[in-house]
Amino acid sequence: MNVRNLLGIYALLLVLSSPLFLHAGELETSFDAGNAAYSTGDYAKAIETYETILSQEGKGSGLLYNLANSYAQKGEFGLAVLNYERALKLRPTDPDILGNLAKVRKDRGLFIEEPGAVERFFSILSIDGWTWGAFAGLLILVIVLSLRFKSKGRLKSFPIVGCSAACLLTLGVIGTVYRYQTYNPQVVIAGDVKLQISPFEGATAIGAIEEGRLLFSVKQHGDYTYVRDRAGRKGWLKNESVEAVCRKI
């Protein structure tokens, strides 16, 4: 065996024994163990395994999907919806994720209200789209104002172009703010959650909110969050009752 072959074998052994390679193998083994636990109906073990991988390696649509399925089978529907929503952030059009999420919502009566005209309009573009629109409007407005100043007010098309740019800027800013406020919803992960009129222990309850319901955070005060849903219901609930879809994982 020549020196070149020996060096090749040595390099291969180094790669196979490297921490990164071994870590990847361990994660794959753990993932398979979680799948095996799920297949045998040991959903608690599957959840524990998937959560451990999640804490060590971070997010992945397949991992979040399997975790959501495990929570759904275990009857923890709030956490199931939460992890389906997280998986959708990574793969928004995945039919399996969409189908299972729709089934859980249907089974639990978590029907999503039809969006209003304002929500439908501002959903046309993403946050980035509205931000670029605002930037384009601002840029056009600056250019038009500069040309008008240089022409000493003789730019006849200024009213039309200037007003259009101002409208684009305004819509872009409003759209960006609106999409930002609704981009990261929270999910009710606890059962028997009551909306309260104030952020204090023992405050009067004004209604119940279902486990698995999507909410939008408005503000926080101590251990409480003021939320609203698409139906217009608003109130305070404890922070521990909800969890944001886009947390750092």
Q: Summarize the confidence of residues 228-239 as an average pLDDT.
A: 89
- Residues 11-21, mean pLDDT to the nearest whole number: 44
8 A C-beta contact, residue 200 and residue 223: no
Please tell me the CATH code under which domain 3-108 is placed: 1.25.40.10
160: number of CA atoms within 13 Å, CB side? 3
Residue 15: pLDDT band with limits 50, 70, 90: very low
Burial class of residue 6 (count of CB atoms within 10 Å of its CB; 0-12, 13-18, 19+): exposed
Contacts 24+ apart (CB under 8 A), 43-46: 43/70, 43/71, 43/73, 43/74, 44/74, 46/70
Radius of gyration of the chain (CA): 26
181-227 confidence digits (pLDDT tens): 777 899 999 988 999 999 999 899 998 889 999 999 889 999 999 99
**pLDDT greater at residue 126 or residue 237:** 237
pLDDT at 248 over 70: no
Residue 117, C-beta contacts closer than 8 angstroms, at least 6 positions apart: none
| pLDDT (tens digit per residue) in 57-83 | 767 889 999 999 999 999 999 999 999
pLDDT at 240: 93
pLDDT computed for residue 153 by the predictor: 59
Q: What is the pLDDT of residue 156?
A: 63
- Let me know if 54 is exposed, middle or buried by CB neighbors in 10 A (0-12, 13-18, 19+): middle
pLDDT tens-digit series, residues 34-61: 899 999 999 999 999 999 998 887 678 8
Strand-by-strand arrangement of the 193-196 sheet: 205-209, 193-196, 234-238, 224-228, 214-221, 186-188, 242-244
**CATH C-level class of 186-244:** mainly beta
pTM over 0.75: no
pLDDT tens per residue across span 94-145: 999 999 999 999 998 887 766 678 777 887 887 888 899 999 989 888 887 7
